[in-house]
Amino acid sequence: MPEILRVAVPVPLPQLFDYRAPRGVRVAPGCRVLVPFGPGRQVAVVVGSAAHSEVDPAKLKSVSAVLDTTPLLGEELLATLQWAARYYQHPLGAVLETALPVGLRQAKPLPFEGYRALALSADGRATSADTLRRGTRIRTLFERLAAGPLTYAALDVALPGWRDSAAALRQRGLIETVAVAASAEVAPCTAAPALNPAQAEAVSRIAAQLQRFQPWLLQGVTGSGKTEVYLGLIEHVVAAGRQALVLVPEIGLTPQTLRRFRDRFGNGVHALHSGLAEGERSRAWLAAARGEAQVILGTRSAVFAPLPRLGLIAVDEEHDASYKQQDGFRYHARDLAVVRARALGIPVVLGSATPSLESLANAASGRYEKLLLPLRAGSAQPPQLRVVDARRTRLSHGLGPELLTALRATLARGEQALIFRNRRGYAPVLLCHDCGWHADCERCAKPMTLHRQRGRLVCHHCEAERRVPVHCEECNSTNLMPQGQGTERLEEALGELFPDTALVRIDRETTRRRGALEALLDRLGPNQPGIYIGTQMLAKGHDLPNLTLVAILGVDEGLHSIDFRASERLGQLIVQVAGRAGRAHKPGTVLLQTHHPDHPLLARLLRGGYAALAEELLAERRAAELPPYAHLALLRAEAKEMAAVEEFLHACAAAAGAVEGVDLSGPIPAPMPLRAGLARAQLLLSALDRTRLQAALPGWLESWRQLPSARRVRWSLDVDPIDLY
């Protein structure tokens, strides 16, 4: 009797599909197969098998080819993916599509074996380094390559910002890209520093229980050396012959971070993130699957890395919003890390100076064990945070006198300052001074941001762009004025105020090119004075030893947000940015300039720190029956006409029917009722008991899919949304 294979096909349909297995071949779950699907063929993953199919035998098709002899996805990973598909109500085929690197979703061999590396060309080998100017980055790169080829990954670590120099050398025909085997990688190794007592205690407590599932909340103040705790634990794990998975936020996977891990574990460390070329990604993934990778250091989707000997998961900056995927398969990598750890019976360490309220509540209820690192590592002191009242002061381009005085003093001491402003561009609004008209995005009904250097108005919600108008479109006046400060304008203003000072602006504009962030972070030497101007890109992870002053601007906008997570987010952001000051030997100062110096959030943060703020916010959430004390799902819909959106959502509400313990509210307009030309509204589902919500969702979704109005809107369900926007 022919065996039937149930396979998940990467299409947005919830069901599995049946195919005839090839005669005499056993195909295990987790193997990839090529199957005929619609007019073409698809790479699909076998999920199970059966003796019979509901499909008419005449219509049942056969698998075209079996692509793996042993499963690419192990039992645990396949089970976790199936769990995630159910929990987030997303088709399993589409879930698998997110989990597998693009290179493995195709039925062809890997495009490129080995690692990309730079090497001197024949011309380069015939050229003396003396033909290049001494002391330049170009010469340094040339000299390094004269000693032998270096992989791109090694260059990222050894010479951040090497790509510019490489382009110059390549233009002169002195270098070329070659492929090398992994063994050609440099494997520098440094010893661990002596851990301080709190770090040592954290390592020994977790290391004593590596054989069982336990989530640990590692709450360590900024600069307390959480990374050393992960590294210390990984040593135990690797010594036991097992693998470790370390997740970092999107922006946190810098060459500096990778270098710290490679310095300790050499070639066994593989990075996995979306910035990698597809070939590199597939290779790291396969190295993990084959057990060659001892440590996978990756961003969100690395939570799906196949690790047959996984012994520990660490999630750094566990509060970070980038762990939640915001489109398609809307999973939360931190939460799935805990699910995987439970399935494998291993510890998972969630680290942060500003833990999410979810994790704090889990620690309070005893589900997570909490470990504290109350002091900064080494000799560093905690930064002093002070609120500066901006009312009735003369602001020069948004900078008050007290800030400017502090800036001058910092630079005079030869130290560095960071001006934090979470707005890129020149000014958030272009306003007509005569009639009050401002340039809005027609598709979003929100002001467009002026980008002066590019000479464009840009909508930060939909990326629409247009020329900067010369006349007011209402009254024709030419009196158009930029309102407010973005990082570009601050850079200009600071350039006028401090003409002889090095300025480094770090935001999405200045870091677009690969390697640009590293080059910028490297621009100021450790003993050089200078000013960083940056958005939240500069808030996390960076360790700049000569940075002693942090000035925080523009928090007032965040104080008035309506999202229920806004206060939590703002508190985390302030503490994280503040945490960049005084991380080495020199003490740090943080000035927070605001027009609301008495705002309760700021008062609480100043008096009791993040812990006190979090405690208060948790009490508010409990009273308001909001997460983490309730569980939400958001049904979002959008269409050209609001009428279609409302018709669909009303129909959904009616079709949902009453389920005890689950509240359904709406339709309500989205916080941005118009975006990119589409009208948007939503239904909010909430329950105090997660299992009740989970039980209601599949049936509801099924009934919503059948609605005729569902075909006239774009809609999606977000389980555990992190914003309601």
Ligand X SMILES: Nc1ncnc2c1ncn2[C@@H]1O[C@H](COP(=O)(O)OP(=O)(O)OP(=O)(O)O)[C@@H](O)[C@H]1O
Annotated binding residues for Zn(2+), written as ranges, equal: 432, 435, 441, 444, 459, 462, 472, 475
Query: Which does residue 470 touch among ligand X, Zn ion, none (CB within 5 to 8 A, set by kind)?
Result: none
Query: Which does residue 443 touch among ligand X, Zn ion, none (CB within 5 to 8 A, set by kind)?
Result: Zn ion
Query: Which does residue 461 touch among Zn ion, ligand X, none (CB within 5 to 8 A, set by kind)?
Result: Zn ion
Tell me which of 462, 494, 581, 693 binds Zn ion, using CB under 5 A.
462
Per CB under 5 A, which region of 245-253, 307-315, 437-445, 472-480 contacts Zn ion?
A: 437-445
| Cβ–Cβ under 8 Å, residues 437 and 429 | no
For ligand X, the nearest residue by Cβ is 225
Q: Is 443 in the site for Zn ion (CB under 5 A)?
A: yes
- Compare residues 103 and 579 and give the one whose CB is closer to ligand X: 579
Per CB under 5 A, which region of 248-256, 434-442, 484-492, 535-543 contacts Zn ion?
A: 434-442
CB of 220 to ligand X, least distance (A): 5
Query: Which does residue 462 touch among ligand X, Zn ion, none (CB within 5 to 8 A, set by kind)?
Result: Zn ion
CB of 645 to Zn ion, least distance (A): 18
Tell me which of 344, 385, 432, 441 binds Zn ion, using CB under 5 A.
441
Residues 464, 522: Cα–Cα separation, whole Å: 33
User: Contacts with Zn ion in 533-592 (CB under 5 A)?
Assistant: none
Binding residues: 432, 435, 441, 444, 459, 462, 472, 475
> Closest Cα partner for 7 from 45, 64, 58, 34?
45
CB of 439 to Zn ion, least distance (A): 11
**Residue 316 tokens, joined:** 């750094």
CB of 135 to ligand X, least distance (A): 27
Tell me which of 430, 459, 591, 601 binds Zn ion, using CB under 5 A.
459
CA dihedral 509, 510, 514, 516 (to 10 degrees): -170
Q: Where are the alpha helices (DSSP H) in 214-297?
A: 226-239, 255-265, 278-289
CB of 378 to ligand X, least distance (A): 4
Query: Which does residue 444 touch among ligand X, Zn ion, none (CB within 5 to 8 A, set by kind)?
Result: Zn ion
| Cβ–Cβ under 8 Å, residues 700 and 620 | no
CB of 407 to ligand X, least distance (A): 23
Residues 215, 219: Cα–Cα separation, whole Å: 13
Distance, CA of 70 to chain centre = 32
Query: Which does residue 353 touch among Zn ion, ligand X, none (CB within 5 to 8 A, set by kind)?
Result: ligand X
> Closest Cα partner for 336 from 79, 77, 84?
84
Residues 146, 358: Cα–Cα separation, whole Å: 52
**Residue 330 tokens, joined:** 């809307």
The residue type at 256: Q
Query: Which does residue 282 touch among ligand X, Zn ion, none (CB within 5 to 8 A, set by kind)?
Result: none
Instruction: Verify cis geometry, omega within 30 degrees of 0, for the bond prior to 628.
Output: yes
CB of 309 to ligand X, least distance (A): 26
Residue 701: burial class (beta carbons within 10 Å; 0-12, 13-18, 19+): middle
Residues 334, 337: Cα–Cα separation, whole Å: 5
Q: Where are the alpha helices (DSSP H) in 503-641?
A: 516-521, 556-559, 566-578, 600-624
Residues 328, 232: Cα–Cα separation, whole Å: 36
Interface residues with ligand X (CB under 6 A) are 193-196, 199, 220, 222-228, 353, 377-378, 541, 543, 579, 583
Q: Which residues bind Zn ion (CB under 5 A)?
A: 441, 443-444, 459, 461-462, 464
